[in-house]
Amino acid sequence: MSLVVRKSSPVVVRPSPEAGMTSGGTIKLSSFDKGLYNMPSTTLLVFEHPLHNAAEIIQGALSRALAHYYPIAGRIVVAGGGGGGGGDDDFYIECNDQGVDFIAARTDHALKEVICFDRSPSPGARKLLDHLAVYYPSMTCGSGDPLLLMQVTEFSCGGFVLGVTWNHGVADGAGMGQFLQAVGELARGSPSPSVAPVRWDGSLPSLPPSVLEAQQHLLSLDPLGDDLAILDITIPMESIDRVRADFSSSFGQPCTTFEAALAVLWRCRTRAIKPGPETLTLLVFLADMRKHAGAKEGYYGNCIVEQLVMAKCGAVADGDFKGAVMAIRRAKDQLPDRLKDGDGVVGQQKLREIRAYDTLIVTSWRNLGFDRVDFGSGRPARVTASGKDLPPSPGAVGFLRDGSGGVSVLADLVRQEHAEAFLAELAKFK
C-alpha cells in the first residue's frame, strides 16, 4: 500500500503571550540531562475518535502550553561552543522563545487501513508510520534545532495521529508525557495545566561517575543498523499472568507486569541467539528515579538511570522465568544505590568485555502518561514508538500496554538471522 501524506510547510509555534508567563535566562542541564543533550526520541499517539480541526486545536493549545513550559521553546547551547562535554556547566537550555516546529498533515486513507489495533502491524505497515512524524536530520539534535517537532496527521475517517519528536535533553519520557497531558488539558478548555511544571530542581543529586561512565559506554556501542530486525510483537496478558502467579506462589512476593514481560523477552532472546553458556549477557533497563532522587512534583527534566543486570547466558537460557524475574527484582531493589558513589553494579572492565550483541536495553513506556493524553475526543487507542530512533545497541525495546489485552513491544532485539527463532521461542511460551 502506498500512503500519501500531504504535509503543510513547518510552522514555528511560540509561547502564547496571552498566558502572561515570563521566560528568559538559561537553565543548566543536570547530570541526568547532559549525556542526552543531542539524542532524539519519537512517539506516535493514535486517536481513533474524530476531533474536528484537530491540527488547529492542538496547535493553539501547544502555544498556550509553551507559555508554561517555555524552556521547550528554547535551544540547547554549549558554553564556549565546544560541545565536548567539559563539566556540568557546559550545557544549558537558553530560554529564548524561538519556538518549536509544527506540521499539519492529511491523508485520504482511513486510520485502520494503516494502523492495526488488534494485532501487530506488518513490516510494510510499520514503515508507513515513518510518514506520521518529523525527524531531525541525521537523527541527531543540533545546537540550533528546535527542542520539539510535532506533526498532526488527520485521516479520512476523522481519526488522527500525533507524532512527537523531541530532544531528550529537555525532557525524559515521563516529562514529555506530562507536557502532552498539559497540551490536552488546554485544548479541552482548562485555563492552566493541572500540574505546575518544574524544569530546574537544584536539590537533585549529581549522578556518580560509575553511572555516567556506564551511560556513555551504552551510548557509544557500535550500531548494527540494518542487521537488526524490527519486530512489533504482543505478549498476551494470559502469559504474563502465568509468570506472575508462578513467581508469587514460589517466593511469596508480587511480580509486576514489567518484570514478567522483561524476563520473557530476555530468556526467549537468549535462547534464540544461542550464545555459549559461559558468555556474559547484559540486561539494561531504564528506571525513573524521581522518587529516589526526591525530585519536586511537576519536574519534567530527565531523571532516569540505566540499571544493569549481568548473568551467564546458560543460566538465562536454561533457567526458568522465576530466576530471571528474581535477578530483575534484585536490580530494582538496588536502584537507590545508583545515586551513591561506588564502583557501580557492573565494573567498567566487565562492561567492555560484553559484546554489543549480548546487550539488551529495555525501556518501559507503560507509566509515562502518553496513554492519558486527551485533546477532546478521548485518549489514544494506541501509543507506539518509532522504529527509526531505537538506540544503537541491539535489543533496544519499547514497552507499551496494548488495549487488546497484552504488552506491546517494538524491538530490534535480534539480527535478521535470529528473528524466526526468537518468534518461535515466544510462540512456545504462549
* Alpha helical stretches, state H, 150-229: 173-187, 209-219
Q: Is 168 a catalytic residue?
A: yes
Contact 70, 14 (CB under 8 A): no
Contact 412, 234 (CB under 8 A): no
Q: Is 109 a catalytic residue?
A: no
Mapped onto helix, strand or coil, the DSSP state of residue 112 is: helix
Task: Classify the phi-psi angles of 159: left when phi > 0, otherwise alpha if psi is within -120 to 50, otherwise beta.
Answer: beta
Helices and strands in the chain, H and E counts: 13, 16
| Residue 193 to residue 13: CA distance in whole angstroms | 18
Whole-Å CA distances, 5 to 85, 173, 258: 40, 27, 36
Give the closest residue to 62 by CA, choosing from 164, 195, 133: 164
| Residue 199 to residue 179: CA distance in whole angstroms | 11
Task: Please tell me which residue in 90, 172, 374, 402 is annotated as part of the active site.
Answer: 374
Q: What are 377's three cell numbers?
A: 475526543
Contact 44, 132 (CB under 8 A): yes
Length of the chain: 430
Task: Please tell me which residue in 168, 201, 402, 412 is annotated as part of the active site.
Answer: 168
Positions marked active-site: 168, 374
